[in-house]
Amino acid sequence: MAAFDVDEMLTRFRERAAAVKKRPLPPVAGQERQAFLSQANIDFQDFAIIGDAVGAMEDGVLVLRVDLRPPDQR
């Protein structure tokens, strides 16, 4: 089994976040459209948070550090 590459995983999450933003809107209207848009926003947020993490393997444990403070407070 190949060694786990944290940076490759984080790159995949950044790519997923970008892909969510490029998702075409399906031909839906009303509540279905709003549900699709809401889910896309949640998907983007989740993928972007992980993609922005600083990751490391520590004693066999994947550690992700995510600074959620506003930029002016970092």
Residue 1 lies in a domain: no
Residue 30 lies in a domain: yes
* Cβ count near 46 (within 10 Å): 14
Tens digit of each residue's pLDDT (9 = 90 or more) over 11-40: 999 999 999 999 898 888 899 999 999 999
Residue 18 has a pLDDT of 96
pTM of the model: 0.81
Return mean pLDDT, the chain. Answer: 92
Residue 16 lies in a domain: yes
Residue 48 lies in a domain: yes
Q: Which domain holds residue 65?
A: 6-73
Closest CA to 6 of 74, 63, 68, 71: 63
Please give the radius of gyration of the chain, using alpha carbons only, rounded to the nearest integer: 16
1, pLDDT greater than 60:
no
Residue 50 lies in a domain: yes
With residue 65 as reference, give the H or E element that holds it.
Answer: strand 61-65
Residue 74 has a pLDDT of 85
Number of domains forming the structure of the chain: 1
Give me the mean pLDDT over the 60-72 stretch: 93
